[in-house]
């Protein structure tokens, strides 16, 4: 949400400069001032995570879903984060309330899944809230998938050599970072 507000602020400031000044030099200076303001308020560098390729060619990791550690495999072919029945139960999903009404194709074939929203999904320093996900019935999958409903929220991701790089957006919500004094 903050990212959207920042983009809107930048667009509004630039549009205001165009209307108010009409002078390309002044517009460029206004744009630079807005960029400096955004950099000044940027607290921490953008979080990034590197995941090494496994022996079978997969990118496996341990995420935290609603605070519970869960093994996952990156799957760019999955439109959503997909959880096994067992993981959903472990993170406190009310299993008996799920409606399995979404058609999905898995490695094991066709099945139905239930929609839910994860309060918090963290991969290293990358934390996303309200992440859409699916849960498959017991025995339909052996591992959780970190799909596009998480990856699309990142600033960028890609493979470099045998590492998957996940890059988040900088956190601009907390104000300027302050230096801490070292203590002995």
The predicted structure's pLDDT at residue 62 = 97
Residues in a beta bridge with 118 = 131
For 1-26, the pLDDT digits (tens) are 566 666 666 666 666 655 555 667 77
Question: What's the rounded mean pLDDT across residues 27-44?
Answer: 66
Residues in the chain: 184
Would the pLDDT of 178 be above 90? no
Residue 106 φ then ψ, to 5°:
-115, 175
pLDDT digits (tens, 9 = 90+) for 159-173: 988 999 999 987 655
Q: What is the pLDDT of residues 110-127, one digit of tens each?
A: 999 999 999 999 999 999
pLDDT score of 184 more than 60? no
The pLDDT of 80-107, averaged and rounded, is 94
Q: Could you write out the DSSP letters of every residue in the chain?
A: -HHHHHHHHHHHHHHHHHHHH--HHHHHHHHHHHHHHHHHH--BPPPEEEEEPPTTS--EEEEEETTEEEEEEE-TT-SSEEE-HHHHHHTT--GGG--EEEEEEETTEEEEEEEEEEEEEEETTEEEEEEEEEEPPTTS-SSEEE-HHHHTTSSEEEEETTEEEEE---B-SS-S--PPPP--
Phi first, then psi: give them for residue 85, nearest 5 degrees.
-55, -45
For the residues 25-29, what does the mean pLDDT come to?
A: 72
Q: Is the pLDDT of residue 82 over 50?
A: yes
d(CA 65, CA 81): 11
User: Which pLDDT does position 28 carry in this prediction?
Assistant: 73
On the CB side of 158, CA atoms within 13 Å amount to: 4
134-163, pLDDT tens digit by residue? 999 999 999 999 999 999 999 999 998 899
CA neighbor of 40 nearest in space, from 177, 142, 145: 177
Q: Across-strand partners of 120?
A: 129
pTM: 0.70
**pLDDT tens column, 45-75:** 788 999 999 999 999 999 999 999 999 999 9
pLDDT, position 22: 63
């Amino acid at each position: 949400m903050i990212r959207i507000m920042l983009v809107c602020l930048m667009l509004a400031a630039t549009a205001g400069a165009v209307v108010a000044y009409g002078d390309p030099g002044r517009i460029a200076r206004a744009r630079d001032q807005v960029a400096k303001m955004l950099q000044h308020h940027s607290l921490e560098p953008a979080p990034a995570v590197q995941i090494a390729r496994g022996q079978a060619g997969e990118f496996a990791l341990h995420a935290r879903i609603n605070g519970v550690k869960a093994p996952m495999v990156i799957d760019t072919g999955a439109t959503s984060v997909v959880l096994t029945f067992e993981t959903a139960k472990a993170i406190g999903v009310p299993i008996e309330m799920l409606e399995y009404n979404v058609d999905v194709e898995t490695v094991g074939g066709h099945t139905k899944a239930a929609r839910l929203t994860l309060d918090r999904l963290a991969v290293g320093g990358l934390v996303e809230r309200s992440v859409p996900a699916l849960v498959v019935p017991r025995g339909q999958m052996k591992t959780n998938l970190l799909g596009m409903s998480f990856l699309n929220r990142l600033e960028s991701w890609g493979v470099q050599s045998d590492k998957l790089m996940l890059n988040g957006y900088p956190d601009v919500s907390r104000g300027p970072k302050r230096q801490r004094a070292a203590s002995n």
